[in-house]
Chains A and B, each alone.
Chain A
Amino acid sequence: MATGVQQQSVAARGARRRRKVNWTPYLFILPHLILFIVFLGYPFFSGLYISLFQYDILRPAASRFVGLGNYANLFTPGTPQYQTFWNGLINTIEFVVYSVPPLVVIPLLLALLLNTRMRGVNLFRAIYFAPWALSGAVVALLWWWIFQSQGGLINYYLADLGMRPPRWLNTLPWAWVTIVVATVWWTLGFNMVIILAALQDIPDYLYEASAIDGATGIQAFFRITLPMLRPVMIFIITTSIIASFNLFIQPFIMTNGGPAQAGGGGGTESVMMRIYNEGFVRNLQGSAAAMSFVVASIMIAISYINFRVFGKRD
């Protein structure tokens, strides 16, 4: 390393004077940078480009420039894309509305229960978090079996209670119930662990001071705990919304997007499933790319609003 002495002074003091270029840092970042450019930088533009074509990777020669046609289809009633895309998008938003409240409230309650100096707290924390380590495929397959009409675990117990259980997986709104239950079971622990860590960061003296002032436990919760948790809760809510927006494997395996709807499109078909079907079943990659960009814009807007508007302290 002939340039060792120069590197040292450049690195240590950040000298401004022009010297021979030190290539070491560039060699360090190069492998990642190349991959980054090819698979995260370039696709941003190539995706936009593809979305302007009727594009089929299996028959590239047959590709045809359609300008904003793929986007126009999404906003023109009567096209096949319009019906299925909005069905998928509305279903996904419905799922966000069903899944995010339990994914925020239940982990908060569990974290509060675990935020005590009792024996075994770490064991319970580990158990609640465990499903997060499983593949979505395992989780979806497992809950698909549990909710089966024949031999399904849930129906054993409902029958014991003398109830006539619904056909969980292929009728609405029950199909959503199965998907939300599987999702909450799978990912709740992640939110809980983060909230618990934030709770443990709240200094004890705040509670001691409020106890001296005669505050009750409930007052302390609303005046100290919740305000102190505010940044972490906004983080949890935002990441949960984004994660729920990506809904794919649960309906893919549990309901196959069904039940079929009168107007076309499935009752639990998410927008990710729609993009998958458009791009890889119907092989219309241009149209699927256009859908991806519209959905991504919505997701970015949601994150932005959450952090900028609700993230501000009053």
Chain B
Amino acid sequence: MAATTPSRVAPTREPRISYRRKLLIQRIAIYIILVVVALIFLLPMFWMLSTSLKPKSQWFAREIQWIPETFTTASYQRLLNNQSTPIGLWFINSLIVGTIATTLILIIDSLAAYAYARMEFRGRKPLFALLLATLFLPGLMFLIPNFVTIARLGFLNSFTGVILPGLAGVFGVFFLRQFFEGIPRDLEEAAQIDGASQVQTFFRIALPLAKPAIATLAIITFLASWNDFLWPLLILKDRELQTLPPGLRTLQGAYTSEYGQMMAGAVIAAVPVLVIYVTLQRFIVQSVATTGLAGQ
């Protein structure tokens, strides 16, 4: 991409040089703006890390210290050793909830999506229209009644209660159905002529082809679960059962003005998703762009 512009400009002769210089200045100006904006995004995250690695005496230092004068992991140690804020457990809880929720959503949604995309059955169209219609309903309508349902089922204070309502979501079904519909029918028809059942066709042909879409849904679902705040806050009351985001709120209450520990907690919650983001960045950005555009 980057190579096309210079080659287009290159053949022009002497009088165009001033034009090229103008273009160069314009480019430098754009880069300066881009870098300044990038710093606005990066520096707060750096400040979080920096605070978490400073000794207490330097949190309120007179002069600003972007890079700690002395590095220490004291905040992390105090956080991890404090029984009343078991952040290690919260981390594991978040991991368990995120993994189970993601796995179940992938299974449930890919089955449903394939049926809505490729199978003929009575009620298919009205049912799918009903699913789509709920995409336009604000989630807050379901907060109170679902809380009541979970309480009545006896799932308060359990991971089941956190995970279950999220599995009803329609986005994954919609997203995967789009993908299944894009697969050429010939492959599946060929398999069926060879005597494969619908179930076999799904598992042997359609599912392997849908790997990229399933991977995208897996990332989005895991991030959403890992970052979810309000629902786990309502459902998980025991300290030992909390996930990280509500746990950070507990930290805030437990450590009055102990900013080092709070930022250490924020770093612990942020690092896994940032690692996922940095490694799969292109993939994630691409999928948001395409689903966003499809959403219009």
Q: How far is the CA of A303 from the CA of B281 in the complex (A)?
A: 30
A232 adjacent to chain B (CB < 8 Å): yes
Our pick among B142, B227, B296 for the contact of A235 (Cβ within 8 Å) is B296
What residues on B are CB-neighbors of A246 within 8 Å? 138-140
Q: How far is the CA of A36 from the CA of B45 in the complex (A)?
A: 38
- Quick one: which of B245, B265, B281 contacts A126, CB cutoff 8 A? B281
Q: How far is the CA of A126 from the CA of B276 in the complex (A)?
A: 13
B187 at the interface (CB under 8 A from A): no
Chain A residues bordering chain B, tally (CB within 8 A): 102
Contact of B164 among A39, A292, A303 (CB under 8 A): A39
B230 engages A248 (CB within 8 Å)? yes
Partner of A285 from B40, B148, B282, B289 at Cβ < 8 Å = B148
> Once the chains bind, are B134 and A40 in contact (CB under 8 Å)?
yes
**A133-159: contact bitstring with B at CB < 8 Å (1 yes, 0 no)?**
111111001111110101101001100
Q: Chain A: interface secondary structure?
A: helix
CB–CB A288/B229 < 8 A? no
Interface residue? B179 (CB, 8 A): no
Contact yes or no, A133 B112, CB < 8 A: no
Find out whether the CB atom of B137 lies under 8 angstroms from the CB atom of A29: no
A42 beta carbon closer than 8 Å to chain B: yes
Residues of the B chain whose Cβ atoms lie less than 8 Å from the Cβ of A120: 31, 34
Which of A39, A185, A299 is in CB contact (< 8 Å) with B165?
A: A39
**Residue in chain A with minimal CB distance to B143:** A292
Q: Which A209-234 residues sit within 8 Å CB-CB of chain B?
A: 231-232, 234
A193 touches B112 (CB 8 A): no
Expressed in whole angstroms, the Cα–Cα distance for A151 and B51 within the complex equals 10
Nearest CB of chain B from residue A64's CB, rounded to whole Å: 16
**Smallest CB separation, B161 vs chain A (Å):** 11
CA distance in complex: A281, B278 (Å): 39
Which residues does chain B contribute within 8 Å of A90, judged by CB atoms?
none
Supposing A24-B199, A231-B296 touch, asked if A138 and B248 sit within 8 A by C-beta, the answer is yes
What is the CA–CA distance of A113 and B38 in the complex, to the nearest angstrom? 13
Name the one of A7, A36, A119, A127 contacting B38, with C-beta atoms under 8 angstroms: A127
Whole-angstrom distance from the CB of A148 to the nearest CB of chain B? Answer: 8
- Stretch among B67-75, B79-87, B120-128, B209-217 lining the A interface: B120-128
Q: Are the C-beta atoms of B119 and A11 separated by less than 8 Å?
A: yes
| B:247-279 near A, CB below 8 Å | 248-249, 251-252, 257, 259, 262-263, 265-266, 269-270, 273-274, 276-277
> Which chain B residues lie closer than 8 Å to A11 at the CB level?
118-120, 192, 198
Q: Does A177 contact B (CB under 8 A)?
A: no
Nearest A residue (CB) for B265: A141
User: How many chain B residues touch the partner (CB < 8 A)?
Assistant: 109
Contact B292 A193 (CB under 8 A): yes
Check A130 for interface membership: any CB of B closer than 8 A: yes
Whether the pair A141, B252 counts as a contact (CB closer than 8 A) is: yes
Contacts of B51 in A (CB 8 A): 145
- Decide if A196 is an interface residue (CB 8 Å cutoff): yes
Also in contact, A46 and B257, with CB within 8 A (given A25-B124, A193-B285, A246-B140) = no
Q: Are B144 and A279 in contact (CB under 8 A)?
A: yes
Cα–Cα distance between A131 and B41 once the two chains are bound (Å): 8
Question: What residues of A have a CB within 8 angstroms of the CB of B17 in the complex?
Answer: none
Residues of A within 8 A of B293 (CB): 194, 197-198, 201, 232
Residue of A nearest to B173 (CB): A32
A296 close to chain B: CB less than 8 A = yes
A239 CA to B61 CA in the complex, in Å?
A: 42
- B5 in contact (CB, < 8 A): yes
Residues of A within 8 A of B227 (CB): 133-137
The docked-state distance in angstroms from the alpha carbon of A292 to that of B147 is 13
Bound together, the chains give a CA A113 to CA B20 distance in angstroms of 19
Report whether B168 and A40 are in contact in the complex, using a CB–CB cutoff of 8 Å.
yes
Residue B100 lies at the interface, judged by CB distance under 8 Å to chain A: no
* Nearest A-chain residue to B224, judged by Cβ: A135
- If the complex has contacts A185-B44, A248-B230, are A42 and B149 also in contact, measured as CB distance less than 8 A? yes
B159 interface contact, C-beta 8 A:
no
Q: Is B25 positioned at the interface, with any CB of A under 8 Å from its CB?
A: no
Q: Which residues of B contact A190 (CB under 8 A)?
A: 288, 292
In the complex, which residues 256-284 of chain A have their Cβ closer than 8 Å to any Cβ of chain B? 272, 275-276, 279-280
* A293: contacting residue among B141, B276, B289, CB under 8 A: B141
Question: Would you give the shortest CB distance from B228 to chain A, in whole angstroms?
Answer: 8
- CB pair B266–A156 under 8 Å, yes or no, is no
With both chains docked as a complex, state the minimum distance between the C-beta of A267 and any C-beta of chain B, in angstroms.
20
What are 13 A-B pairs with beta-carbon distances under 8 A?
A29-B112, A32-B173, A38-B149, A41-B130, A43-B146, A50-B144, A130-B45, A134-B270, A156-B64, A197-B290, A242-B138, A292-B140, A296-B137
**Partner-A contacts on B (CB < 8 A):** 1-2, 4-5, 27, 30-31, 33-34, 37-38, 40-42, 44-45, 47-48, 51, 59-61, 64, 107-109, 111-112, 114-116, 118-121, 124, 127, 130-131, 134, 136-149, 151, 164-165, 167-170, 173, 189, 192-193, 195-200, 202, 223, 226-230, 234, 244-246, 248-249, 251-252, 257, 259, 262-263, 265-266, 269-270, 273-274, 276-277, 281-282, 284-285, 288-290, 292-293, 295-296
